[in-house]
Amino acid sequence: MKNDQLDIFAATIPGLEKVCARELTALGVDFPRTVAGGVEFCGDLRHIYLANLWLRSAGRVTVRVGSGRCSDFPELFKRSARLPWGRFIKPATPVKVLVTCHRSRLWHGERVATAVMDGIDRALGRSRPESGPFTQQVLVRIDTDRCTFSVDSSGLLLHRRGYRQAAVRAPLRETLAAGILQLLGWDGTTPLVDPCCGSGSFPLEAALLAAHRAPGAARTFAFMHWPRYREGLWRSLLAEAARGERPLTVALHGADRDLAAVAAARANAEHAGLSATVTFHERAIADWDVAPVGCGLVIANPPYGLRLERPETLTPLYAEFGNVCRRVFPAWRVALLTPHRQLADATGLPFVQALPLLNGGKRVQLFTTFRMPSR
């Protein structure tokens, strides 16, 4: 590895690792390696900026600062104090340490965080700063007494693109919506309809994808607070991204029976500068009588029911979804996200694949009437 090369990790929802690896390859990253929950790769500052700016399916991008065996607190402090934190943290920047411990002698998260924080203060030759407008997150993972120390380069998680101002109940994370579109092989050239669109995650992420718009172009990142932040490089990547945007010609539609959800989706489209390109309708599933355009993809994440509600109560809604797909969208491809196979079966649609994913920590499956491109 060259000297300026860093070990970088893009964290994803389990199931989206290969999508994320493909996104990294498209950004010019050599040999991204998928592991459970993310993708490891080597790169420099430019790759960190590019990953944050462009990755649609990743939740955050972290950089490994060091690793090694640690089984007691004095050792943990000493090891932390020897790491090159000064490359990423200014002396005046407060730090928050997030800890996960598995099968290790060090298991007390708070004490681990304190020891690492003390080590960072020692490495930076400082006394701990007061809280400030920005706090650098440091991630410490201890597994079978092996400790890995990383800094977060993203700040707010990457699904926070900046356009979602209005929320509804149970919205999908933008990263999951964008990851699913890519899993399905949707390339921005065929129409898309989401008849239960809620806050509009599928149509809005589809619009960003089709327009080749960088999802992180409108927000700030933790790396902007690092001592070596290269603003000129960041600006040139933003300018390059803006030059690469394409005019949107594909038809994208969302609908929901809930007026508040449609209002939220329209407000989000407005914030994203996409209100001229995505059409939102106040419409119940049963009220679709004609497809807005030729042929494309119907995608939906209808209600699953509350935790204590039984899926059977939603059977009529899913059956209606199936009826509408057959009657109004007969030649369209259909993708359905739901945790329950019995609800997918209630649609009567000929699903040929079911892919497990996690939505907000809950196991769900992506059912499709077509074969997804190999993942």
Judged by the rule CB under 6 A, the positions of this chain that interact with ligand SAM are 168, 170-172, 195-199, 201, 256-258, 261, 284-285, 301-303, 317
CB of 283 to ligand SAM, least distance (A): 7
Q: How far is the CB of 286 from ligand SAM (least distance, A)?
A: 7
Q: Closest CB to ligand SAM among 153 and 201?
A: 201
Q: Which residue is nearest to ligand SAM (CB)?
A: 198
Q: Using alpha carbons, list the distances in angstroms from residue 187 to 5, 180, 184, 209, 332.
A: 32, 12, 9, 8, 15
The residue among 52, 20, 55, 56 whose CA lies nearest residue 35 is: 20
Cβ burial 3-26 (10 Å sphere, 16+ → b, else e): eeebbbbbbbbebbbbbbbbbbee
Residue by residue, DSSP assigns 133-177 as S--EEEEEEEETTEEEEEEESSSS-TT--S---S--SSPPPHHHH
| Residue placing its CB nearer to ligand SAM in the complex, 168 or 181 | 168
Nearer CB in complex with ligand SAM: 241/335: 335
What minimum distance in Å lies between the beta carbon of 364 and ligand SAM?
Answer: 10
> Is the CB of 130 or the CB of 289 nearer to ligand SAM?
289
Nearest to 136 by CA among 179, 126, 144: 126
* Residue number, 8 or 285, with CB nearest to ligand SAM: 285
Task: Quote the least distance from Cβ 365 to ligand SAM, whole Å.
Answer: 14
When the beta carbons of 124 and 272 are compared against ligand SAM, the nearer one is 272
Residue 374 C-beta: closest distance to ligand SAM, Å? 26
Least distance from ligand SAM to the Cβ atom of residue 166, Å: 10
Nearer to ligand SAM by Cβ, of 70 and 325: the residue is: 325
Rounded CA-CA distance 370/337 in Å is 14
Q: How far is the CB of 271 from ligand SAM (least distance, A)?
A: 14
In degrees, to the nearest 5, what angle opens at C-alpha 37 toward C-alphas 32 and 42? 25
Which of 33, 95, 51 is closest to 234 using CA atoms?
A: 51
State the CB neighbour count (10 A cutoff) for residue 233: 13
Mark 122-156 as b/e (b = at least 16 C-beta within 10 Å). Answer: ebbeeeeeeeeeeebbbbbbbeebebbbbbbbbbe
